[in-house]
Amino acid sequence: MSIRTTTLEGVTTIEIARPEKKNALTQSMYQRMAEAIAAATDDDAVRALLITGQPGIFTSGNDLEDFLNAPALHADSPLGRFMQALPACSKPVVAAVTGPAIGIGATLLLHCDLVYMSDQARLVFPFVSLGVVPEFGSSLLLPQLMGHARAAEQLLLGEPLSAEAAVAAGIATAAVPPEQVLAQARAAARRFNALPPGAVRDTKRLMRAGSLAGLVRAMEAESALFVERLRSPEARAALQAFFRR
């Protein structure tokens, strides 16, 4: 399935492990991640989740060939279940961004609580260049974090965002050398073993409550437009050019 899960010392690690395809995500991988998040949420022995990739690559986003074979963004699709499970997770989610995070690889970070990035990593939001629109609430969350003008560089122009800029924008917690990013993220996740789980859960819920209704509306609007845009001549031309590359 190219998703590895382990639970050790109170932390469930979800590892994206498809380096031969730059960790591109398939429907079966989304299904496995959604199941892992649900299982960790229900396990009282788990105090935190850790999402990571492979050395030098976090994820290149959707496997476009797989996605175009079944471009389902409805709630019952594997991608839909993942996009519901991550924001709804009541336990802290820590990300170790080991390399470039592209598309949903970047937008999923907006739903994590602590994000540690390799100082060589970049975030890329390439939606417009592919003829589609942003997803996973990023059209709402990025402008909230960065302001409209700076978010427009990412969402309209697709400018890569450095780790240092991601920290400054509040997307990431810290930028660290590549060889340290996973260890630092894992250490942060383990710290929740020493904290009262109920207080952690309630604090996370309070922090997220104010934006939840708007996030749900944004994700619904994005999903509808994303599917519509996929059928457009612009998207078909952009995707054909991508596959030719």
Is pLDDT of 184 > 90? yes
* Domain range summary for the chain, segments of one domain joined by +: 3-179
Give the residue, 132 or 210, on which the prediction is more confident.
Answer: 132
Options 3.40.50.300, 1.25.40.10, 3.20.20.140, 3.90.226.10; CATH for 3-179 is: 3.90.226.10
Confidence bin at 172 (pLDDT 50/70/90): very high
> Encoding tokens for residue 125?
């939001």
Query: Could you report the per-residue pLDDT of 25-44, keeping only the tens digit for each?
Result: 999 999 999 999 999 999 99
- Whose tokens are 């402008």? That residue is 143
Q: What is the mean pLDDT of residues 80-101?
A: 96
Say what the pLDDT of residue 3 is.
97
pLDDT tens for each residue of 36-69? 999 999 999 999 999 999 999 999 998 888 777 7
pLDDT at 36: 97
Give me the pLDDT at residue 210, please.
Answer: 80
Query: Is a pLDDT exceeding 80 seen at residue 137?
Result: yes
